[in-house]
Amino acid sequence: MKKIFVSILLSFCLLKASADEGMWLPMLLGQQVYDNMVKKGLKLTKEQLYSVNGSSLKDAILIFGGGCTGEIVSNEGLIFTNHHCGYAAIAGASTVEHNYLEDGFYAFNKGQEIKSELTVQFLDRIVDVTKEVEEGFKGLAWADRAAKTQEVYKTITDKVLDKENGLAGRVYSMFKGNQYLMYVYKTYRDIRLVGAPPEKVGKFGGDTDNWEWPRHTGDFSIFRVYAAKDGKPADYNEGNTPLKPKYFLPVSIKGIKDGDYAMIYGYPGSTNRYETSYGIKLKNEIENPSLVNLRDVRLKLMHGQMIKNPAVKLKLASNYAGIANYWKFYDGETKQLIKFKTFEQKQAYEKKFADWAKGKPEYENIFDGYEKNYAAWTPYSKQRQYLNEGILGSPLAAFAASLIGIETNLVKTGISSAEIKKSIEAAGVIRKTFLTAEDKISDEQILAKMAMIFYTDIDKSQHPIGFYQSIKTSYGDLRDDETFKKWAKDVFAQTMIFDDVKWAAFTARPDATVLQADPAFAYAAAFVKNYNLKYASLYAAFTSKNAELGKSYLKGIMEMNPTAASKMYPDANFSMRVSYGNVKSYSPGNAVKYDYLTTAKGILDKYIAGDYEFDLPAKQIELLKKRDFGQYIDKGRNDLVIDFITTNDITGGNSGSPVIDGSGNLIGLAFDGNYEALSHKITFDKDLNRTICVDVRYVLWCIDKLGGAKNIINELKLVK
C-alpha cells in the first residue's frame, strides 16, 4: 500500500489566489479550493482527482522529455503532448528524403512507430523530507548550504533509488526553503513516435503568432510508452509491449462553449510571484533587454541561412524554435510589467510590510538586506547575460567551453591517465552531436557579432584581460564589423574542432598546450574563466543571500496575514499541479473583444501560399474548403474548431498539459499563453490572463481526415 507522508503547514503557503489564479498541489486541495472548483463546474470527487491507493486522474499525467507535460489517452500507453514538445524527436527522426517534420508522420500500426531518445516519468509517491533536509544543513551558515545541497538531497533520494523498477526521487524546495518534498518518479525509457502533423499545421503562424490570440495552431504530437513484458521500465527492445497504464483520459468530442469548466493538470516550470521590487527593476532594466537583444541577433543570423536551404532549416529547426520562444516571452514580460506598474505595486506592498515589521528583529531589516544585495550584484548582471546569451550563444563557443574540464585534467597534478581518457572520450561523443547539428555559416556570423557586441556593450573593466587587444593587433579596428568577421573566419578555419585529423592527433596524445593554442578554445575559455575567476562567486553570494532573505520575507508575510492561508498556493517548481478556470472570451483593449475559440474559417483567412509561417498543406486546404469535418464538427458554429482559450493559470512546463472538462474528459491540449499577460511568472492578471489550447477535435481531425490514421482514433475512448 502506498502512503503519502505530507505535512505541509498552510501557514507557509505563498500566494493568495484571486479569480482563477493558482497552481494547486492536487494531493493537498483544501476544502475551500475544492468547493470553488465544484462551483465552477467540477463533477469529480477529490479521490478521483488524486488518489493515494487507487487510480485517478494524476496517474494519466506524465513528465514528457524532462521539460513538458503529456497525458495517457488509451489503455495501450498512447501519449498526447504538444508538437513543440516532440519537435526535437520528430526532427531527429527526419531526413531530407523522409522529412517527417515538414510532411508529418503517422504510424498505421505499431510496427511503424519510430524509436526516440525520450523518457517519460510518472509520479509514484510523495514524501515529506523537511526534517531530513534540515538535519543535513544543521550547523551550516546559510551561505554554505548551497554547496551542501546536492549532497544532502542525494543522501535522501538514494534511499528510494530502485533502478530495476525505474524509481528515483527528486527533492523540491517548497515555500522558499520552508518545506522540502521528495517526489518519487517511475521513468520509462522506451518512447516511440506515433504521429505528428506537418510542421505547417503544428507550427502554423510561427513566431508571428507565438504568444498571440487569436491562434490557429495544431500544436500536438503523439507518442507511445513501452515497457518490458513484465511491465517494468526497459531500454528500447522490439520485444517490449505497450504500457498498460493505471489510468487514461477519455476524449470528448462534445465540444465547448463560453463559460465551461476547464481544469489543467501538469508540471508548471517556475513562477516567482513574490519577487521583490529590486528583482523587478533588475529584470526590466538589464536582464530581459539583454536577453531579448542578443537572441534577436542570433535568430536573424540563423533565419538568414534557414530560408536558403531546407537541409539547414531542418538542422537548426529545434534550436531556433527554442531560442525564439523565450525571445518573445521576455520581450512581452518586460512590456507588461511596465504597463501594469508591477514595480510600483511591489514597492507599495514592501512599504506596508516594512511598517508592520518595525520592532520585529526577525523581519525589520529584510529590505535593507535586499537593497545592499542588489547594489553589490547589479553592476555585473549585464556581463553575465552577455556571456550566457552572447558569447556562449555560438554553438562552436559553447562546445569549446565544454573542453575546459579536459584542460583542467591535463594541467592538474594527480589526475590519472584513465580519468583523462574518460574525459576525452566523453568530449568526442559531444563533438559528434555538435558537428551533426552545426551550421558553420550562421555560427561564424554569430561568433563574430557576439564578440563585437560584448566589446561594445560591456564595461571594459569586465573584459577578459588581453583578449581584445590580441584581435586589434592581428585584425584591426575593434569598432569595425569587418575586423571581427576576419577574426571569426580564421577561428573556424584553424580550430581542430572541425578538423578530424587534428582532433584525432590531439585525442591520441592530449596536451594542454595544444588545446590552449586552439583559437576556438582560447576564445571561449577567455570569457568563461574571466567570469569564473572574478564574478561567479559574486553571483553565488547574491543568489544565496536572496534565498535567505526570501525565506524570511515569506514567513513574515504569513505572520502579517494569518487568516489568508486557505486561499494560498506555492510557486511553481516543476512539481505536479492542477489549475482550474473556465473557457472564456476577453477584451484586451478598448472596443476590442476576442472570441473564446477560432475555427477553420480563420485558418483559410490567414493562409498565405508559400509563406514561411502561414502556408498550409494542399490536402488540408482541399478538405477545409470542402468542409469535410466529419464527427469533429462543432454544430453550434457549423465549423471545425481549431483553438480555444481558458482562464487557467499555467506557465512553462505546462506545454502539452491536458485540458479537462468537469467530468474528467480531455477537451484540449494547453500550449501557450497570451501576450497581454506575459508577466504571469511574476504576477497573475485576473482579467487578461488566458491559456491557449488546441481543441482535441482538431487534433482528431488532423489524425483522421488529414493523416488517414483511423487506427489511432479507434484506440481512443471517445465521449460523444
By annotation, the residues acting in catalysis are: 84, 219, 655
The CA distance from 512 to 307, in Å, is 40
Give the three-state DSSP class for 716: coil
CB 639 within 8 A of CB 599: yes
The CA distance from 433 to 688, in Å, is 42
The CA distance from 558 to 541, in Å, is 26
How many other CB atoms are found less than 10 A from the CB of residue 361?
Answer: 7
CB 123 within 8 A of CB 246: no
Q: Give the length of the chain.
A: 720
Q: CA–CA distance from 648 to each of 56, 174, 280, 432, 670 (Å)?
A: 21, 22, 24, 42, 10
The CA distance from 695 to 202, in Å, is 13
CB 86 within 8 A of CB 219: no
Which residues contact residue 671 at a Cβ distance below 8 angstroms, ignoring those fewer than 6 apart?
Answer: 82, 84, 217, 219, 655, 656, 692, 693, 694
In the chain, the N- to C-terminal Cα span, in Å, equals 36
CB 446 within 8 A of CB 298: yes
How distant is the alpha carbon of residue 644 from its chain centre? 22
Give strand pairing partners of 634. 639
The CA distance from 664 to 647, in Å, is 18
Fill in the DSSP letter of residue 574. S
CB 170 within 8 A of CB 159: no
User: For the chain, what is the radius of gyration of the CA atoms?
Assistant: 26
Q: Which residue has the cell 531530407?
A: 96
How many other CB atoms are found less than 10 A from the CB of residue 464?
Answer: 19
